Every structure is written in C-alpha cells, then in structure tokens.
Amino acid sequence: MAQFLSFLLSFSRDRRISFDEFVAFSLQLIRQAVQFPERAFPNLRSDEMKIWGFGLICVFSASLANASTINATSCNQPQVATAISSANNGDTIVIPAGTCTWTTTLTVSKSITLQGQGVDSTVIVDGTTAPSSGAKPPAIQWTVSGSALNRLTGITFDGGTLGGVDNSGHSGIVSVNGGGSSLRLDHLTFNNLNRTVGVQVMGNVTGVIDHVIFNIGSHYGLYVFHDNWQGVGGYGDNSWAQPNTFGSGDFLFVEDCQFVSPSGTGLSWGSDGWMGQRVVYRRNTYVNVLWANHGTETSGRQRSARAAEIYQNSFVLNNGGWNSQLCCLNSVIGIRGGTALVWGNQLSSSNGGGARQIFDMSNFRSNDPRTFAVFNHCDGTNLWDQNVGPEVGYRCIDQPGAGRGDLLSGDVPAPRWLRQQIEPLYIWGNTNNGSLSAGVTNGNIPVVSNRDFYNQDPSFTGSSGVGNGPASARPATCTPGVAYWANDQGEWDSTNGSAPDGVLYICTSPNTWTLAYKPYQYPHPLVSGGSASPSAPAPVSPTNLSIQ
C-alpha cells in the first residue's frame, strides 16, 4: 500500500500534473481496479485489493480536500464573474438567492461547480441583447475540457422579454462547447423560452443533463451537436467516421428531465440536434412536447445526427393530436438520419390528443421538393449516394439506417459515396395507450423494414423483426440482422435492485446470437457522484507506467 501511494504522489510530482489531471488519473485507476482488478493488479491478493481500494479512496478524498467553496457576494453577473476569477479547477462557486438580470455573458473556462441556492431561489434572467442578425449572446458561455467535473446546478433561468430574439434560433441561454467528458447540468429550470433555446451543447462534449425542467415556449429546450467529435474536423464529419458505441458513456445523456408545453398552447418540440449528434434520452417526461432530430439536408454542409438511444420515456398528449389540433400527427419521436435504439417508450393521450404511433423515420432528400445546399436530393444520380438500389438512390448518405463511413473534410468537399455501413435501427417495447406501437416510414423513401430498421414482432420466430422476452424463449435459429431483447438478463439499473434489466442480442450470422447492447449504467455515474467513462473496454492507463 505504501509503495502504491508513494508511486501516485511521485507520479503527480514528476510530471507536474494539475489538480484536475490528478483527480482524473486517480478516478481512472479506481474504475480500472473495480472493473478489472485482476487485470490492473495481477500480483495482489483479494485482501490486499480491499486495502488498496480503501487507500486509493483516501488519497483521492484528500486531494479533493484541496477544493474550495467561494461565495459570490450577490447573484449579479459581475460579482459571480469575480468569484470565478479567484477559483481554481475543482472549486465550487455558490450564487446566493435572489433574482438578477444578466446583460452581459458570463464566461466560464474552468472545471468548477457553479451552484445556486435552488430552483426558484436563485433566478437568473437572460438580458443579453440580440444583434440585428446572427446569434444572440448566451447568458453563460461555458467551455469544458478534459475529464474533470464541470457542473451547473440549483438555478432557475428565465429567458427574459427584452433584448430581441435570437436570429440563429438556438444559441441558448446556457451555451456549452469544448471537449470535456464530465459535463453535468442538473436541478435547473428554464422558463420563458421565447427569445432563444434553454441549452445548446456543441463540440465534443459528453456527460449528463438530469433533473432539469424545460418549460417550452416558441423555442426548444435543448440543442445538441457533436460537430467536432473527438476534437477532429467539423460539421459532424468525424462522428460519422466512428463506430456508434451504443451502450457506452460516449454520449450526452439526458435523463429524468421534463419537457413541458403550457396547457392550451398546442404541441411543441422539446429538443433537436444534428452535426454528428450522439445522445441518450432516457426516463424523461414530455407533456405536449415531441422529440426530433435533423438529417443531412436543410442545414447545408452540416451532417445529420449520428446515433441515439431513446428509451423508457413517457409522452403525454392532451392538447390535440392527429384527430384534432394537428391533423395527422404521425408520431412523438421522429428521426431524419442516422441510427437509433428506440425502446420502452410510452404514449398516453386524452382530450383529443394523440398520435398514430410512437416513432417514425424520414429522409427529406428523397421526397422533399426543396433544394438542399451541398447534398441536395437522393434521386439515383447524386454522387453523394450509393445508387445501387433497389430503391431510388439507395443508400442515401446519412439516411436512417446508415452508419460509419469514410471521413469527410473541408467546407466544399467533392461529392463521393462515403462507403457507409448499414447500422439498422431497432424498435421494441413501445406502447401507444397500452398497445404495442411499431416504427414507420414517412413517404416513399429507401428505408426498408428488416434491412434498415427492425420492429418488434409479437410472434417472433427469428426470421424477421425483434423479439422480446426471457432468454429461454429466444429461438435457436435466426436470420442475420434480427434482434432479441432478453428481459431477464443484464444488470445496469441500480434503482431496480438485483432484478435483471435487459440486454439486446443481434443475429450476426445464420443461427448465431451475439450480445450487442447493454444500456449504460443508470443513474449516470455523474449523478451518483462518480466519474463518467465508457462502459467497455476498461479505461487504459498511460502506456509508460507500470505498478509493481
């Protein structure tokens, strides 16, 4: 034990690493030891491992003791900015109760916690002025980096009424960019979203947004872009050149949030995103609010959303739906590009509200008459598309069911097929007023069942669709591409006790089932006070280190 503690301290001293780098490295070792102790420290007996774990936690706790709490003297922007200027990475800035209007942007570039006195106690009104054209400055501009925690909590944000409307549409009251893996926005409320959206996240940022209430106005609650995935390129190109990594922590998670449209105002959209967006939306509540993303079309050079897990969300429609206020509402979840796992969502309707089903898929380049800059239409002749049929243009670049392909770069790239793989969408366990609800396509598009997407089949035999049930009921034979949700296997939900939580098998070759997806741990580690990390493989230590 003494030898290990001496190593850790000498490592930090020799390499002159910062506080947040020391914390991140310590957490990495903790995670590695917990997940794969025999791999990380093969020479330690089990009793020694227990002592080592306790000692490392003590070291880590001692390092955290260096963090300070700094109290801003008021909730006004200059006083909060002054407190932040005196802070170090790891510190907590406390904003006192009160209502303050911010007319200039608060800039944050440190790994800190910015904490109010609680929702409706600390209230920040966005008073920044929108220019005659372009984006309105946010109230908070937060740049994150590394793996240290960046947290915003305990505040109500009000969109304000003065200063004009954001002409870009989605600059956000809170705007986050950079390349950090431990963003947490939690226990916040966003009201009066009529000048801009609540939150915009851009760059290469992952982490979690949890226990946030978005009271939707004329603008959405949340926009997410991964335009600079892994710090490479722009427009979402590198996100499309990388695996989807379903089941890992390499997403921005949105969990246990509420997206609410005021009663009597019709239906609204709660969130959006494109440019390689990678998101997990789980266990959120939507009241007269819909979920959507963008494809590779209306945003010009910017690419479609890349990958989404959308599961166990609750949708309530009581303001009119397909049979009243909005004629022919097709779904409450709509995807226009990329791949997704959509499962276990529930829709309940009343007062004339409703939708035909939970989920639908669109490909605007196939049937929308508008001209789309750069990529234009998938018409069978466009060089951006594969054009091998049997449907017109199939496969269209970035269409629903498209996946990883060649890396694109440049502002005006030459058109060519990017050799994208098929990454089907899987849809199961969704219910519309208690009845199983399948995913559907909108219009005549080259997105085909049992090739580009798979729906749950209540009479699953292994030949098509998705099965759902105990592992013992999974057919022995299977056709490649079909899937089976084994609801009696897998542990990933700590709120569910020791009961199994479910995993997905995919048939990877004739009569061969392969475990393909286990949801990332819930609640997210940052919610539980831990550190975010991919669920597999185990974090890799620096290659030039060894532990004796």
Burial (CB < 10 A; 0-12, 13-18, 19+), residue 380, is middle
Q: Would you state the structure tokens that stand for residue 401, as one six-digit string?
A: 């069911």
Per-residue pLDDT reduced to its tens digit, 63-118: 455 789 999 999 999 999 999 999 999 999 999 999 999 999 999 999 999 999 99
Q: Would you state the structure tokens that stand for residue 206, as one six-digit string?
A: 């992952």
User: What is d(CA 200, CA 218) in angstroms, rounded to the nearest whole number?
Assistant: 16
Residues 425 and 398: beta-carbon distance below 8 Å = no
User: What is d(CA 200, CA 292) in angstroms, rounded to the nearest whole number?
Assistant: 15
pLDDT at 264: 62
User: What is d(CA 306, CA 204) in angstroms, rounded to the nearest whole number?
Assistant: 13
DSSP 69-97: EEE-SSSSHHHHHHHHHT--TT-EEEPPS
φ, ψ dihedrals at 10, nearest 5°: -70, -35
Other C-beta atoms lying within 10 Å of the C-beta of residue 407: 13
Per-residue pLDDT reduced to its tens digit, 60-76: 554 455 789 999 999 99
pLDDT at 8: 46
User: What is d(CA 255, CA 212) in angstroms, rounded to the nearest whole number?
Assistant: 9
Tokens 């030039």, residue?
544
Which residues are CB-contacts of 406 (< 8 A; sequence separation ≥ 6)? Answer: 241, 418, 419
Which residues are CB-contacts of 139 (< 8 A; sequence separation ≥ 6)? Answer: 102, 105, 106, 124, 126, 127, 128, 157, 173, 174
Is beta strand 435-436 parallel, antiparallel or unpaired with respect to 431-432? antiparallel
The identity of residue 32, as a single letter, is Q
**Within the chain, which residues score under 70 in pLDDT?**
1-65, 263-265, 320-328, 530-548
Other C-beta atoms lying within 10 Å of the C-beta of residue 64: 12
The identity of residue 345, as a single letter, is N
pLDDT at 396: 98
Q: At what angle do helices 46-64 and 2-14 cross, to 10 degrees?
A: 40
Quick one: CA torsion of 171, 175, 178, 179, rounded to 10 degrees?
-110
Q: What are residue 454's DSSP bridge partners?
A: 426
Nearest residue to 124 via CA among 194, 172, 76: 76
Residues 203 and 235: beta-carbon distance below 8 Å = no
Residues 225 and 235: beta-carbon distance below 8 Å = no
Burial (CB < 10 A; 0-12, 13-18, 19+), residue 401, is buried
Helix (H) or strand (E) holding 47: helix 46-64
